[in-house]
Amino acid sequence: MLRLLWTRSPSSFRRFGPSRLLSGAFSRKDRARTRTLFNRQGSEPTPTQHFDSYPRLLNFRSSQHSSSFRAPEAACFSMASGSDGQESLSPPKHTNRLRKERSPYLLQHAHNPVDWFPWGQEAFDKAKSEDKPIFLSVGYSTCHWCHVMERESFEDEEIGKILSDNFVCIKVDREERPDVDKVYMTFVQATSGGGGWPMSVWLTPSLRPFIGGTYFPPRDSSRRPGFKTILLRIMEQWQNNREALESSGERVVEALRKGTSISASPGESLPSGPDVANRCFQQLAHSYEEEYGGFRDAPKFPTPVNLLFLMSFWTVNRSSAEGAEALQMALHTLRMMALGGIHDHVAQGFHRYSTDSSWHVPHFEKMLYDQAQLAVAYITAYQVSGERLFADVALDVLQYVSRDLSHKSGGFYSAEDADSLPTPESAEKREGAFCVWTAGEVRDLLSETVEGATGGATQADIFMHHYGVKDQGNVEPEQDPHGELQGQNVLIVRYSVELTAARFGLSVDRLTEVLASARAKLAEVRRERPPPHLDSKMLASWNGLMLSGFARVGAVLGDKALLQRAEQAAQFLQEHLWDKEGQRILHSCYRGDDMEMEQTASPIAGFLDDYAFVVCGLLDLFEATQTVQWLKWAEDLQNTQDQLFWDAQGSGYFSSDPSDPTLLLSLKQDQDGAEPSANSVSAMNLQRLSHLTGKQEWMQRSEQLLTAFSDRLTKVPIALPDMVRGLMAHHYTLKQVLILADGNTEDYLYQKLPVLSSLVQQEGKATAYVCQDFACALPVTCPQELRRLLLE
C-alpha cells in the first residue's frame, strides 16, 4: 500500500482588460467605452448588452441606445419558463435539425421557429456557400436567462424568420463544447468587459467574431435596442460596411492571440512556494467576510478551491497565526454554508450559489461539479478538525448524488435546474418552487404533538423555530424582486441543536430524532411535486471530479459502499467514455429514452479537463483501494494527455486540441473558478504519478507547467489557489507512506519502484515506512508510532 502526503521539509486568473488586449484594435475613445467586469465563477451574470465597442458600426444614433443595458441584479434569480421539450403533448409546430442531437440543451431548442444547426461542418459550409454571417448562441440546459431568451426571442415567429433567412444559426451547449465556448467568451469579455450565458456572437463565414454579447430583450425600450433591432442593424452593416466589421473583428482576434498567451520565458525559474502561498493567503484574507464566511459580499459562491487551499496552507503553517487564521476561515465558511439555505436540508446537496451574504436564499440550480468538490472539501475539513459535522455533510452530499444524479450504469448526470412548476396544473415555472415551503404547509405536515416538549409543542413548532420558518415567509424582498418567493420559506438553521433542545425542554438526542422525522416527511411531499429539469448528459470531466469525491470520502471514513460506488464510476468511464480503438477519452455520453446509454454519431473527443479530472479521480481511487488497474489507466491517460495537449514550446497544457482548425485561439485556462483549472489539477497529478511510478519526467513536466504560469502565480495567486497547492507540494514535497502487509513482492509497484525491494516486513506484522524521495525512516508496526511520524 502506498499513500502520498505533504511534509514540511523544504526542497490568474488574469482577465486582460480591453486597455491591454485591444490596444491597436480600437481607438482610445472606443476603448474608454469598455469596462472591466469579472464574470462570477461559473454563474449566469446579470444580462448585459455588449455593443459599447461598436457604436458607429451599428449606427445607434440615438444616445439612449448607445449605453449598455444592465438588468437589475436580482433579475438573475427570477422566473424561467424555458421548455424542456417534453411538456406539451400536442404536436410541435416547428421542428429543426437539433431534434437529432443528444444534448438536453440543444433538444430544448429543437422546436424553435429557427433554422438551428449544431456546431459542425454542415453549418460552416452553408455560411460559406451562401456568404452569410453566422449567429452563434451558446448556453446550457439549466441556465435561467437562456430559457428567458428562448421564450422571448427564439420562440418568436418574426425573429425566427429574420434569423433563419439572413444568418446561419448555430446553437452550442457550452458544457458539451467547452472549447467553442471558451474561445468566443474570451472575445466577448475582451470587447465588452463582461460575459455570461446565453452568449450571443456574430461571426464571419470563416468563424471570425465581429460582434458579441449575452442576453438581449426581444424589442426596443426607451433605454436600449431590442434583439430584432440589433439583427436588422447587423444585416444592414453586413451589406454596407462589411469590411469594417471584419477588420475590427480580425484585429481583436489577433490581440487576443497575443494577450492570452501563457508560456515560460527562457531561463525562468519556479517561483517560491512559500512566498506565493503567503500572498495567496493574504489576498484571500483581504476578501474574506468574517460574519458568515465566504469571500466578498453577495452573491456568494462556495469556491471549494479557496477552501482546500486554506486547509493546505494550514498544514504547513500550523504553528503560525496565519495558519490558524487560514484554518478558521475555511472551517467557518464550511459551517455557515452547511447551516444556510444554499444547503438543501430536506433533499441534501448544495445549490449553485447564495444571492445574499448569509448563505440563505440560493440560486436553486444544483451542479454535479459543486457536489464533487464540496464532498472533498467537507471530508478534508473533517480530517483536519475531527469535527463530525463535516463528515456528515460530506455523506449528505454523496447521498444526494447517489439518489438524484446517478445512472444505473454508474455514471453521474450533470445538473438539476433551478426552476420548476409549482403544481402539476401550473403553466409557468418558478425559481425554487420545488424546494420552498409555506408555514401552512409545514403546520399541516407536522401537526403531531411532541411528547415531553414544553407547552405541548408540535413537531411544526419545533421545526419552524429551528429552521427559521415564518408565517409571512422568510425571504427578504430584495432577494425576490418578482415576488416568486412571497410567503415562502427557504430553510436555514437558526439555532444550534443545544439551544433548540433547551428551548423545548428536550434532550439533544430526542430533538435530533424529531428534526430528522420532520425532514423525512417534507422529503416525501417534495417527491410528489413536479421536479425540476434534469440535465442527463454525462461528462467525463465532471464524472472524474465525482469519482474523487466518492473515493476520498470512502477512504477517510473506511466506507466500503462508497468505495464500491467509486469503482462503479471508474468502470462507467472505461465502458462508456473511453474509445478503446482510438485510445482516447470521449467528452460526453447521454441517457436515451429507454434509460440506456447512447452516443452521438460523431462522438466528441475529450478535452484537457476530461483527462486531468479523470486522472485525478483514478489516483484517488487507487490510493483508496490499492487496485493497480486504476493506477495503470491513470498512467496511460496521462501519457495520452501529454501527447494531445502539451505545449512543447511554452510548456503547460492547451485546453483543447491545438490542431483543431475551427478554433481561432489555443487557450490555457488560467483561473481556478467554479471548477479548478485542468492545468492546476495536472500540476499535482504529475507529481503524484512521479512518486507512484518513479518516472522523473513527470516531475520535471510539473515544474515546467508551474513555471509557465509563474507570472500569474506571483502576481495574482488568488486566481489559481489550486495551482498554488501544486507549487506548495513542490516546495514541501510529498512523502510516501508504504505499508507492507501481504509480503507480495511481485506487485506492480515493485516493478516501478525498485527501492521497495529493500523494505522488509517486521516480525510478520503490517509494517509502515514513512519516506521522502524514498529515503525512509525506520519501520514501525504500531499505529500510534505511525501517527507520530506523520505529525512530525
pLDDT at 1: 63
The model's pLDDT over 672-694, given as tens digits with 9 standing for 90+, comes to 999 999 999 999 999 999 999 99
The model's pLDDT over 189-206, given as tens digits with 9 standing for 90+, comes to 998 888 999 999 999 999
Whether 75 has a pLDDT exceeding 80, the answer reads no
Whether 371 has a pLDDT exceeding 90, the answer reads yes
Relative orientation angle of helices 721-732 and 304-315, to the nearest 10 degrees: 20
The model's pLDDT over 556-575, given as tens digits with 9 standing for 90+, comes to 999 999 999 999 999 999 99
Sole residue written with cell 488560467: 670
pLDDT at 88: 53
Contacts of 214 (CB under 8 A, 6+ apart): 45, 47, 48, 49, 50, 145, 188, 194, 195, 196, 197, 198, 199, 200
Whether 57 has a pLDDT exceeding 50, the answer reads no
pLDDT at 594: 85
Q: What percent of the chain has pLDDT over 70?
A: 89
Q: Are 49 and 30 in contact (CB under 8 A)?
A: no
The model's pLDDT over 400-456, given as tens digits with 9 standing for 90+, comes to 999 999 999 999 999 999 999 999 999 999 999 999 999 999 999 999 999 999 999
Was domain 537-732 assigned CATH 3.20.20.70?
A: no
CA neighbor of 717 nearest in space, from 404, 275, 291: 275
CA neighbor of 477 nearest in space, from 344, 596, 361: 361
pLDDT at 297: 86
Whether 137 has a pLDDT exceeding 80, the answer reads yes
The model's pLDDT over 465-480, given as tens digits with 9 standing for 90+, comes to 999 999 999 999 999 9
Whether 69 has a pLDDT exceeding 60, the answer reads no
The DSSP H or E segment spanning 737 is strand 734-740
Angle at 635 between CA 631 and CA 637, to 5 degrees: 115
Whether 60 has a pLDDT exceeding 70, the answer reads no
CA distances from 515 to 79, 390, 493, 503 (A): 31, 19, 11, 14
Q: Distance between CA atoms of 584 and 649, rounded to whole angstroms? A: 24
Q: Distance between CA atoms of 695 and 270, rounded to whole angstroms? A: 20
Helices and strands (H, E) in the chain, number of each type: 29, 21
Whether 712 has a pLDDT exceeding 90, the answer reads yes
pLDDT at 166: 98
Sign of the torsion angle spanned by Cα atoms 381, 382, 387, 391: positive
Q: What phi, psi does 170 have (nearest 5°)? A: -120, 130
Mean pLDDT of the chain, nearest integer: 89
Whether 149 has a pLDDT exceeding 90, the answer reads yes
Query: CA torsion 251→253→258→262, rounded to 10°?
Result: 170
Q: Are 379 and 338 in contact (CB under 8 A)?
A: no
Q: Distance between CA atoms of 131 and 221, rounded to whole angstroms? A: 32
pLDDT at 482: 78
pLDDT: is 3 or 621 the higher one? 621
CA neighbor of 673 nearest in space, from 71, 39, 23: 39
pLDDT at 89: 59
Whether 714 has a pLDDT exceeding 90, the answer reads yes
Q: Residue 287 in 3-state DSSP?
A: helix
The model's pLDDT over 19-53, given as tens digits with 9 standing for 90+, comes to 233 333 333 333 333 322 223 334 444 433 333 33
Q: What percent of the chain has pLDDT over 90?
A: 78
pLDDT at 3: 63
Q: Distance between CA atoms of 246 and 264, rounded to whole angstroms? A: 33
* Nine-digit cell string for 248: 475590427
CA neighbor of 103 nearest in space, from 659, 668, 706, 603: 603
CA neighbor of 621 nearest in space, from 679, 663, 574, 667: 574
CB environment 235-250: b (16+ within 10 A), e (fewer): bebbeeeeeebbebbb
pLDDT at 418: 95
- pLDDT grade, residue 610 (50/70/90)? very high
Q: Which CATH class for the 98-260 domain?
A: alpha beta
pLDDT at 2: 61
The model's pLDDT over 626-658, given as tens digits with 9 standing for 90+, comes to 999 999 999 999 999 999 999 999 999 999 999
The model's pLDDT over 313-329, given as tens digits with 9 standing for 90+, comes to 999 999 999 999 999 99
- Rg of the chain (C-alpha set): 27
Q: What is the number of other CB atoms lying within 10 angstroms of the CB of residue 305?
A: 26
CA neighbor of 474 nearest in space, from 358, 365, 366: 358
Whether 82 has a pLDDT exceeding 90, the answer reads no
Residue by residue, DSSP assigns 386-425 as --HHHHHHHHHHHHHHHHHSB-TTS-B--EE-SEE-SSTT
- pLDDT grade, residue 791 (50/70/90)? confident
User: Average pLDDT for residues 513-538, to the nearest whole number?
Assistant: 97
pLDDT at 4: 63
Q: Distance between CA atoms of 409 and 568, rounded to whole angstroms? A: 8
In this structure, of 459-463, 622-626, 751-755, the range with the lowest mean pLDDT score is 751-755
The gap between the terminal CA atoms of the chain, to the nearest Å, is: 21
* Nine-digit cell string for 578: 473511453
What are the residue ranges spanned by the domains of the chain?
A: 98-260, 273-534, 537-732, 735-791
pLDDT at 194: 85
Q: What phi, psi does 117 have (nearest 5°)? A: -115, 150
CA neighbor of 327 nearest in space, from 288, 358, 354, 357: 288
Sole residue written with cell 436588422: 232
Q: Are 177 and 119 in contact (CB under 8 A)?
A: yes
pTM of the model: 0.90
